[in-house]
Amino acid sequence: MDDAPFALSPDLFVLRQAGIRQLLPAFNAQCGSSAPASKSWLASEPWATFLTKIPAAPSMVWTYRELGEDLAGRGNPARGALWREIIRDLHLPRGYVAFWPYSLLEGNEYLLKCDAFVEGLSRIGPKALVVFDAGPVEGFASAMLGHVRDALPWLRILTVQVPSSVTGDDTQLAGEIAGSVRLFLQTITG
C-alpha cells in the first residue's frame, strides 16, 4: 500500500507487489537524497546538530516541510508558538515529542531528505509520527511517507492538514490540531 508516485515497468511492478524491494530503484531520486561522505546522515550537518535537540526517549516525532529552517533558527516564530500551545493543550510531558525534519531548504526550494529522515527516525525510535502538511499529503510528502512505510512498517503515522501560513494568534487552529492528535494518541496508547 505505497503512496509513492513513480512509474514502474510491469515486470518491476509485479516484483514490488510481491514484496521484493532489492531490485527496485531507491526512493532517493524522488526524495532528493544522496549518500553523505560519512555513510551516515546523522554524522553530517545539519543532521548532527538537529539530533542534539532530540529528547532522550520521545514517544512521538512531529514533522513538517519548514521544520529544518525552524530548527536552524531561520523559521517562523509563530509556528514554534503554535506547536508549544498544542503540546500544552494535550498535556504532554516534557520530552514526549521530538521534532525531526524531512526536508531542507536548498536555494529557494525545499528538497525531501528521505534517507536522513528515516535514519533519524530509526535512531530516535518513536512509536508514532505526526506529519503536518499544508494540504492533503500528495506529491511533496507522499514519496517521503512511502519511504518511511517501507523502512519502518511498525511506525504509526498521522497526517494533519495545517495552513501554510501560521500567525501568532492561532488558538482555534491549535485546538483543532490538538483534537486530531488527541484522537491519534488514544489509538496508540490504548
CATH of domain 38-189: 3.40.470.10
DSSP string, 58-117: -SEEEEETTHHHHHTT-S-HHHHHHHHHHHHHHTPPTTSEEE--SEEEETTEEEE-HHHH
Name, in order, each residue with C-beta under 8 angstroms of 154's C-beta and a sequence gap of 6 or more: none
Domain borders along the chain are 38-189
| Alpha carbon distance 143, 131 (integer Å) | 13
Strands 60-64 and 97-99: parallel
Question: Sign of torsion, CA 149 152 155 159?
Answer: negative
| Alpha carbon distance 5, 50 (integer Å) | 28
Q: Give 24's pLDDT tier (boundaries 50, 70, 90).
A: very low
| DSSP assignment letter at 38 | T
pLDDT in tens, 110-133: 888 888 999 999 999 999 999 987
* Angstrom distances, CA of residue 63 to CA of 6, 128, 132, 160: 23, 11, 6, 10
Name, in order, each residue with C-beta under 8 angstroms of 174's C-beta and a sequence gap of 6 or more: 82, 85, 86, 89
> pTM of the full predicted structure?
0.77
Q: Give 139's pLDDT tier (boundaries 50, 70, 90).
A: low
pLDDT in tens, 77-113: 888 888 889 999 999 999 999 999 998 888 888 888 8
| Alpha carbon distance 168, 166 (integer Å) | 7
| Alpha carbon distance 28, 114 (integer Å) | 7
Among 88-97, 147-156, 162-171, which stretch is predicted with the lowest mean pLDDT? 162-171
Q: Which residues pair with 158 in a beta bridge?
A: 130
Grid cell, residue 139, equals 506529491
Residue 5, pLDDT score:
41
